[in-house]
Amino acid sequence: MKKAMLRSLDRKLAAIRADPRSTREFILADAKDADMAFGVRAPGPRGYLARPGARPAQFSPEVWTREEYGYRNLPEFLDIIREVTQQGLVDIMLMSAYVSEQLTIKEGLFENSQVTPACRANDTTDVWAVRHGCYTREPSQPFRSASIDQIQCGQIECDREEKGVPGANLGLYSITFLNELAQDREALRWYKEFREEAERKQFRHFLEVFDPNVPGRVAPEKLGEFINDQIIRTLAGVPEAGRPDFLKIVYHGPKAMEELAQYDPNLVVGILGGSAGTTYDAFKLIHDAQKYGARVALYGRKINQAEHQLAFIEMLRLITEGKISPEEAVRAYHGVLQARGIPPHRSLVEDLRTTDPAMSYDGSAARRAVVEVQNNPLARAESEAVSSPAAGPLAGNDWPKLANGSPDFAHMNSAQRLAYDASRFGW
């Protein structure tokens, strides 16, 4: 059997558990599993495509308008997954079992990659966000489409002894606690059965815990405490061999995050991204969550709906490494878009605003506030905030460097960051 390579996920998990207080190691995941929720809309709008470009589809003009077929198709979606994986800045690529089969088992995309392939291991009804459906508003019910064998090997029975695991060997298992006895007990029974099967088949998993998907079950200001207690209570009866590698939860603020992250150094806490929101929402969320104890972030819609996914991921990584602030990252990101001639979804001033993105899977919950950031260096006229490509040194390698030759982000100005990004991405 071929020996598995040590991927960045495993190296980082070991470092985090060895020294959780001082390490800056941070695990970043791209969640490209939305086909198990949204169906046709899952690949996102076609405004951004990978370098191979469009994979033309044949639509009848007498039936469709141009606006009606504005979503990427699956081949275009797979191209983006390939490109993000080859970029190598995320640690995990989360996919549906079918997409993983195409790229992991049949194509071998991850064979020599530091990126770990993962699959959504269950699909509770609160992620069934199909058009014209109402499932996401009904109390969540447990359900699993793919078996562990199918995720690992692409078939109902997996011969691990002889061939190893050609597919993904990491899965996302999701629970939505409702604060209702019968439903929560049933959800935990399904999780118990999954855990025991996973342990027998040596299948690793991480645990996603959603907030209740129906209103009125827990007061909003008490959700952090409710979720924290549910997590600790649920895992208290689980020995180490059956425990998740890490958690994925809604970020309920500094107090709730610190309480959970400091309870047990072996419990690695991560956040989910929620709906897309502004660019500053995404960058500020990952910065604040890391500051107060999170060591993992799984961003789905925030990445998939970005104007340029590779540049967006680059900024996330620079923030977690402490090389750039969220405010600086928004400026640099808009600079990249301008250099590439990509129209931004919002003006820079609008992208400075922090909102309260909906955290339900279909993004239907109302946003509660829109606040403009005060004393923000980005709150300048757009004409001053993003350097013109003609004004800055965008050619060569004209930017500050450290003694070892690596970029000195702390002393870069906006034009120099834009030049660095242009050089890194080969623009």
For residue 218, is it within any domain? yes
What residues have CB less than 8 Å from 267, skipping those under 6 apart?
A: 235, 247, 260, 261
Report the pLDDT averaged over residues 334-358.
Answer: 89
Instruction: Using pLDDT thresholds of 50, 70 and 90, give the confidence band for residue 309.
Output: very high
For residue 12, is it within any domain? yes
Position 281 scores a pLDDT of 94
Q: Residue 151: which CATH number?
A: 3.20.20.70
Beta bridge partners of 120: 172
For residue 244, is it within any domain? yes
In the predicted structure, residue 422 carries a pLDDT above the cut 60: no
Domain count across the chain: 1
Report the pLDDT averaged over residues 60-81.
Answer: 85
d(CA 227, CA 249): 8
Distance in Å from the first CA to the final CA of the chain: 42
Position 393 scores a pLDDT of 37
Q: Are 282 and 330 in contact (CB under 8 A)?
A: no
Domain of 189?
Answer: 8-55+64-305
- Entry pTM: 0.85
For residue 261, is it within any domain? yes
For residue 270, is it within any domain? yes
Q: How far is CA 246 from the centre of its chain?
A: 14
Q: Are 15 and 23 in contact (CB under 8 A)?
A: yes
For residue 405, is it within any domain? no
Summary mean pLDDT of the chain: 87
* Rounded CA Rg of the chain: 22
For residue 190, is it within any domain? yes
For residue 128, is it within any domain? yes
d(CA 343, CA 345): 7
pLDDT digits (tens, 9 = 90+) for 15-59: 999 998 889 999 999 999 999 999 999 999 888 999 999 887 777
